[in-house]
Amino acid sequence: MIAPTVAHLSFVRDDGQPLDFIPGQFIQVHFHYADGTATKRSYSLATIHDRAIGPGEAVEIAVSYVPGGAATALFEGLDIGDHVQASGPFGRFCLMPQDSNRRYLLVGTGTGVTPYRAMLPLLEKAIAERGVEVVLLFGARTPAELLYGDDFRAFADRHPQFRFVPCFSRELPADPHPDVRHGYVQQFLGEFAPSPDDDIAYLCGNPDMVDATFEALKAAGLPVPRIRREKYVSSK
| Per-residue confidence (pLDDT) for residue 231, from 0 to 100 | 85
| Per-residue confidence (pLDDT) for residue 117, from 0 to 100 | 98
pTM of the model: 0.94
| Per-residue confidence (pLDDT) for residue 235, from 0 to 100 | 53
| Per-residue confidence (pLDDT) for residue 158, from 0 to 100 | 97
- Characterize the bridge pairing of strands 103-109 and 199-205: parallel
The full length of the chain comes to 236
- CA neighbor of 51 nearest in space, from 80, 27, 21: 21
Q: Which spans in the chain are helix H?
A: 70-76, 114-130, 149-158, 207-219
| Per-residue confidence (pLDDT) for residue 68, from 0 to 100 | 87
Question: In the chain, which stretches have pLDDT less than 70?
Answer: 233-236
Each residue of 138-169: pLDDT tens digit?
999 999 999 999 999 999 999 999 999 999 99
